[in-house]
Structure 1
Amino acid sequence: MDAQRKKWRQRHKRHLRVRRKVCGTKDRPRLSVYRSLNNLYCQLIDDGEGRTMASASTLSPDIKEKISGGGGNKKAAELVGQKIASEAKRIGVSKVVFDRSFYKFHGRIKALADAARKAELQF
């Protein structure tokens, strides 16, 4: 149990450290990422007003039809990154602050970020 507790504490400390540094505004919203075992979700959040400006996930119909199997892989993460970048352009946002939460910056999180950058979303 101690190993699990230690892992949870490290995750919690990482989450607090990231959230202390990251705050979204209307001009530069926070790109928040949540990763579950089978799906990936991200949203653009204006922390000043406390509202979600746009969102994308592997459960959206246009992404779901492009992926086979589940949405918990790098290919699905790239599609979500492209989708959130296009949603950001649609609402007139070109710069965001990336909030990886307590996740390490590799794997699906990195694939999502790279795809969003490639689609000309700056962070």
Structure 2
Amino acid sequence: MKLTTSNRKRFRVSNKVKKNAPKDRLRLCISRSAKNISAQIIDDKKNMTLLSASSNEKDIKTSTKVNKSELSKIVAEKLAKKAQEKKITKIFFDRGIYKYHGRVKIFAETLRKNGMDF
């Protein structure tokens, strides 16, 4: 079966990150579209999603209109707050097919400011 270019890139990046990451950390997987951004904290040992945050959630959508960069900051702050409630601080960042630039970079920096270690 032939894989698309984006799937090959996603597998390549994810596998490199998984090999080099410490085994005691959880994975933060990010995905974005033209309008929205979402992220999940995943436990690869149990194959479970522990936490997630998205710009499609009701409380974020009903807030005032903001640009996409501000939306990334809001979602990152919400995810960091959920992670602190579950006492998750050490993660590794799986950027997927996206470059560490723009909204993805803003998302990661906001998580670091809110106490996440990666």
- Please classify the TM superposition score into its range, dividing by the shorter chain length: 0.7 to 0.9
- Give 4+ residue runs of structure 1 displaced > 6 Å after superposition: none
Please, which of 5, 16, 21 is the counterpart of residue 21 of structure 1?
Answer: 16
Cα pair 1:26 1:48 within 8 Å, conserved: no
State the match for 1:78 in structure 2: 73
Q: Which residue of 2 aligns with 1:98?
A: 93
Deviation at 1:14, TM superposition (A): 3.2
Identical residues among aligned pairs (%)? 36
In 2, the alpha carbon distance for the partners of 1:116 and 1:108 equals 12
Number of corresponding residues: 113
- Evaluate the alpha carbon distance shift between residue 53 and residue 26 of structure 1 in structure 2; reply closer, same or farther with a 3 A threshold: farther
Equivalent AA in structure 1 for residue 103 of structure 2: R
1:84 partner amino acid:
L
* Structure 1 counterpart of 2:94, one-letter code: D
Q: TM-score, normalised by structure 1?
A: 0.81
Structure 2: stretches of 5+ with no match in the other structure? none
Query: What is the root-mean-square deviation in Å for CA atoms of aligned residues?
Result: 2.2
Instruction: Report the equivalent of 1:3.
Output: none
CA distance in 1, matches of 2:13, 2:106: 19
